[in-house]
Amino acid sequence: MKIAVLPGDGIGTEIVAEAVKVLGALDLKFEMETALVGGAAYEAYGHPLPEATLKLAKEADAVLFGAVGDWKYDKLERSLRPEQAILGLRKNLGLFANFRPAICYEQLVDASSLKPELVAGLDILIIRELTGDIYFGQPRGRRIATDGHFPGTEEAFDTMRYSRPEIERIAHVAFQAARKRSGRVTSVDKANVLETFQFWKDVVTEVGQQYPDVQLDHMYVDNAAMQLVRAPKKFDVVVTGNIFGDILSDEAAMLTGSIGMLPSASLNSSSQGLYEPSHGSAPDIAGKGIANPLATILSAAMMLRFSLKQPAAADRIEAAVKSVLTQGLRTADIFSAGTRQVNTQEMGAAVVKAL
């Protein structure tokens, strides 16, 4: 089992270190190799995704990823910015299916900014298409407008597009995931305005006919954003495109108490995967030792389940995380009265002990 470990920037190095400790505490043998990515790789090699890092990731069974990005790189040309590393990995490894489960642990019901009764027992799975949409659509760029409201002035543009096979394969992923859960899929679109998402809705509906046992409904993204904070437990599997999935998964994260709790898995068609917390590099708290490592530790559990085929080890890690929460240990982001605040390393160590 070969794991490429790419900690990245900001809190990435701190949280990945804890997940590596947790993996090391399992009675399994891994081959782990670490490489620079993001701003850290730019500093060392002048590129956020060096050839060697990409090669390592391609050859591994799974990638354990921290986070990339720092405001200090905002002025760099886009192709050199840290975010290009994660986008390049997703594209080059064909990681089209992104799983972002939002589970509200009963111990954290009070950490959510929503009323406890709205989030208690919440367990939704956002499935975000990850290699298409306006994120990757060509053409894109800046130019002088020749039409529109202000011809002759500067404009910028991106292209939202989805092909039939791209929608079909993510729809299959969603329906199959729903079969293992409560059998419900909500497809989120903007079919009332966008051609791309009318097509999305049509194709998802067609694929759905192959899954008569799964209940499919459709929701516009603006309504979905509202329903997520009005009655989040009505959702089970949510499938959507890249940009809507980016936005809705951050929103869903807050239902669980903190984005510091939300793991993710990004898979290609041969179950090779990249595993990362859904949160970013948080440069404002980097180096302070206060980041929550649980999203990364839970991502490592997803890695064991999806790419490394070690479901029992995945279960053990998830149980250990629940156990430390039950013990009342909290990093700053999930702290509430009556619990004990710990730092990043103490949280990692507590999970290892619970294992």
Task: Kindly list the catalytic residues.
Answer: 135, 190, 222, 246, 250
Residue 337 makes CB contacts below 8 A (sequence gap 6+) with none
Rounded Cα gap, residues 85 and 87, in angstroms? 5
The residues of the shown chain that bind Mg ion, judged by CB under 5 A, are 246
Q: Is residue 251 close enough to count as binding ligand IPM by CB under 6 A?
A: no
Of 296, 294, 290, 258, nearest in space to 277 by CA: 296
Which of Mg ion, ligand IPM, none has residue 83 at its interface (CB below 5 to 8 Å by kind)?
Answer: ligand IPM
Rounded Cα gap, residues 332 and 334, in angstroms? 6
Kindly indicate which of the ranges 6-14, 83-91, 138-146, 151-159 contains the residues binding ligand IPM, using the contact rule CB under 6 A: 83-91
Angle at 12 between CA 250 and CA 343, to 5 degrees: 90
Residue 215 makes CB contacts below 8 A (sequence gap 6+) with 183, 184, 185
- 101 or 208: whose CB is closer to ligand IPM? 101
Radius of gyration of the chain (CA): 20
Residues facing 184 on adjacent strands: 215
Q: Report in angstroms how near the CB of residue 279 gets to Mg ion at its nearest.
A: 8
Q: Report in angstroms how near the CB of residue 247 gets to Mg ion at its nearest.
A: 8
Q: Is residue 246 close enough to count as binding ligand IPM by CB under 6 A?
A: yes
Residue nearest to Mg ion as judged by C-beta position: 246
Q: Is residue 86 close enough to count as binding ligand IPM by CB under 6 A?
A: yes
Contact 265, 206 (CB under 8 A): no
Q: Report in angstroms how near the CB of residue 276 gets to ligand IPM at its nearest.
A: 7
Q: Report in angstroms how near the CB of residue 280 gets to ligand IPM at its nearest.
A: 6
Kindly indicate which of the ranges 79-87, 151-159, 182-190, 290-298 contains the residues binding ligand IPM, using the contact rule CB under 6 A: 79-87
Rounded Cα gap, residues 331 and 283, in angstroms? 17
Q: Footprint of ligand IPM on this chain (CB under 6 A)?
A: 69, 83, 86-87, 246, 280
